[in-house]
Amino acid sequence: MFGVVVRPELQPLDHAIDGLTGLDVDTLHPHAAADTLVELRREQARLAAVEARLVDAVERTRPWAESNYRSTATWLAASDNTAVGEARARVRTSRRLRTMPATRAALAAGDITWAHAERLAELNAADTAAAFAEAEEFLVGQARSMRWTDFTKAAAYWLRLAREDTDPDPDKTDRERRRVSLHDGLRGTGLLDGELTPVCKATVGTELERLEHQLFEADWAEARVRLGAKATVADLARTPAQRRHDALMEMAVRSATAPADGKRPKPLVTVLVGYSRFQDVCELADGTVLSPVTVGSLLEEADIERIVFDGPSRVLDLGQARSFTGAARRAVEVRDRRCTGEGCDVPAHRCQVDHVLRYSAGGPTHPDNGKAKCGWCNRARERPRPPSTRPYPDDGLKCLELARARLRDRILHDPMWGDDALVLDEP
């Protein structure tokens, strides 16, 4: 992938690495192995300093343009088949190091790592460059002497103070960027993504950590009962990431039970039988399909309902459902899947159930007489959109004339289009 080293500047390094690859680490004393590892990481930092200088030189001279690459990052990623995002970060940090002499010197000496250099480069942004130039020596000293967690906290504190001089509300950007999204993954799983404000991160993180610790204690007690004093962390039933997942689930459950009339939520599992399309299908209320094994594990904490189909739209038996959900409504939700309005795909569990034959006209409240309609589509049925009064020409020539007239008016009156030379001539 990288080819053979032919540059005379790098050949001594290549030979030295050849010697290191033949090192028999099993023959080293443990302390010698540890010391060698530390010194190797120091040399890696020094090499990172040389790499940054080379990246900056390529960025300035742009030799990759002759091969039609779009940027240094795309060329760099293609040279060793790495991610473009990682290459962009490397180029961005190398570019900022141009104006960071103290950081470059510390990195070249192996006193700080590339991770420290990246964090310091983040502080050297356009709006804080002047303040950073004055404080660089101090910040590099913090990077040399502090543990990583303390250093990152000190860097964040410095950045906040530096931005307060130019922005009276430095937290505004964090508030505007706050977001949480729950995307659909494979097999009905969910992908959680987002960015929390500092206050939200502290609040959610503290509670998540507290609940995760409770689950850890429960897992540890179970392992001790099962294995006795021989139990180790590796014997726990869940990994830390799995415990955090379950802790998040517990947070949602406790939120649902917090109100005075709150009840511990139970998943509603629907078993569909009788129609080949739904043969042996089990699903949650939102349509997520579950395996019979998962349904079996939920028998003690879920509500189970049965819906029997005769063909694609005829419900024979509604079984027993939760009273507040309503068996008739569930049958319509399962059958229709989504809003039945034209071009509407709102999930059925978020829709209203509308009578096809109005109740006032004697229509029964039965699945055969129900349709899933979202609020907008349901209201549109009661208040149909008035017919348009806009003129529509009868033939293609009039349509062309109307389009020309509208474009001409846009050019004459819209500042974005305000160029008299663009006014179309009459046909």
pLDDT at site 14: 85
pLDDT, averaged across the chain: 79
Alpha-carbon radius of gyration of the chain = 33
**Structural domain includes residue 57:** yes
Q: 99-130 pLDDT, tens per residue?
A: 999 999 999 999 999 999 999 999 998 888 99
Q: Which of 230, 257, 284 is the last residue of a domain?
A: 257
What mean pLDDT comes out for the span 128-146? Answer: 93
267, pLDDT greater than 80 = no
284 and 411 assigned to the same domain: no
Does 132 lie in the same domain as 43?
Answer: yes
Q: What SS3 string covers 320-368?
A: CCCCCCCHHHHHHHHHHCECCCCCCCCEHHHCEEEECCCHHHCCCCCHH
32 and 156 both lie in a single domain: yes
What's the rounded mean pLDDT across residues 2-27? 84
Predicted pLDDT of residue 324? 36
Distance CA 350, CA 328 (A): 15
Q: Does residue 378 lie in a domain region?
A: yes
Domains of the chain: total: 4
Residue 7 lies in a domain: no
Share of the chain above pLDDT 70, in %: 71
pLDDT, tens only, 152-189: 888 988 987 887 766 667 677 778 889 998 888 777 78
In a domain, 159, yes or no: yes
Residues 151 and 198 in one domain: no
> What pLDDT shows up at residue 298?
64
Higher pLDDT, 330 or 100: 100
Which residues make beta-bridge pairs with 273?
308
**154 in the same domain as 56:** yes
**Amino acid 37: pLDDT:** 92
Out of 18-27, 33-42, 93-102, least confident range:
18-27
Residue 219: predicted pLDDT: 93
In this prediction, residue 427 carries a pLDDT of 44
Q: What percent of the chain has pLDDT over 90?
A: 30
In a domain, 171, yes or no: no
The model's pTM: 0.51
Q: Phi/psi at 288 (nearest 5 deg)?
A: -70, 125
Name which of 33-47, 129-143, 160-174, 357-371 the model is least confident about: 160-174
Q: What is the per-residue pLDDT for 320?
A: 44
Higher-confidence position of 302 and 102: 102
pLDDT at 55 over 90: yes
Asked if the structure places residue 170 within a domain, the reply is no
- Give strand ranges (E) for 220-337: 268-273, 281-283, 289-290, 303-309, 315-317
Residues 225 and 327 occupy one common structural domain: no
Average the pLDDT over each of 9-13, 51-55, 89-93, 137-141 and give the range with the smallest value: 9-13
CA atoms within 13 A on the CB side of 20: 12
Residues 228 and 345 both lie in one domain: no
Collect all residues with Cβ–Cβ distance below 8 Å to 160 and sequence separation of at least 6.
170
The answer to whether residue 85 scores a pLDDT higher than 80 is yes
Do both 419 and 372 map to the same domain? Answer: no
Residue 50 pLDDT exceeds 90: yes
CA atoms within 13 A on the CB side of 411: 13
Q: Are 159 and 196 in the same domain?
A: no
According to the model, what pLDDT value does residue 359 have? 72
The whole-number average pLDDT for the span 93-99 is 94
pLDDT attached to residue 138:
94
**Does residue 358 carry a pLDDT above 60?**
yes
Same domain, 76 and 185: no
Domain that holds residue 359: 268-382
pLDDT in tens, 306-318: 655 555 444 444 4
* pLDDT at residue 351 in the model: 83
Q: How confident is the model at residue 341 (pLDDT cuts 50, 70, 90)?
A: confident
305 pLDDT higher than 80: no
The pLDDT-based confidence of 282 (bands split at 50, 70, 90) is low
